[in-house]
Amino acid sequence: LLGAETAIPDESLVSQDIIWETFPQMPTGRELAGFARLHSPLTLDKVGPDQALMNWLDIEFETFRSLERRDVHDRLQQGFFQNNDIDVEGFIQFSTSVLNRRKSRAGKSLEYHLEYIFRTHNVLFSSQKHTEGKNQPDFLFPGIAQYQQEAFPEHLLTFLAAKRTLKDRWRQVLSEA
């Protein structure tokens, strides 16, 4: 009635065969991000950073899910047994590992793509550098060297938090800055 699409499209952004051929094992986050940009039909210079970023994230997520399904399927086929008994602890450790990998990948993915956009546009920045104590902002403009110079004008320093979700992480933003 409202014209909202609810069906999942049959076509993938990248063929599963290409994904599995490219990655016989789960790749690093940087490798996944690079793969997404390489296989994107949208180029940064043609559609701009916002649309390109959204497309890269979609491709990367779909690629990751395809690889994850393959790896989890293979592990489930093996089963969870130890000395002919069901290995509950092994199953829990495996499940926790899968969930942690999902959470970690999503946040770093955004950072990798933003780094690429900044470098492509010759924007000066530092990422994941320690400021005070254990504070580690996602991005600092123009960079950590300027931040550490007492004489550098404060109003020319900018902090960017790159968070995929703000559910529980919004508190980190101010402390990181």
Active-site annotation holds for 112: no
What is the phi-psi region of residue 83: left when phi exceeds 0, alpha when psi lies from -120 to 50, beta otherwise? left
- 72/84 Cα distance (integer angstroms): 21
Beta carbons of 56 and 64 less than 8 angstroms apart: no
Provide φ and ψ at 31, rounded to 5°: -65, -40
Q: Got the DSSP string for 52-83? A: HHHHHHHHHHHHHHHHHHHHHHHHHHH--EET
The tokens of 157 are what?
């320093």
At residue 124, the 3 state secondary structure works out as coil
**Looking at 91, 147, 152, 159, which residue is catalytic?**
147
Quote the CA–CA distance of 66 and 60 in Å, as a whole number: 10
Catalytic residues: 147
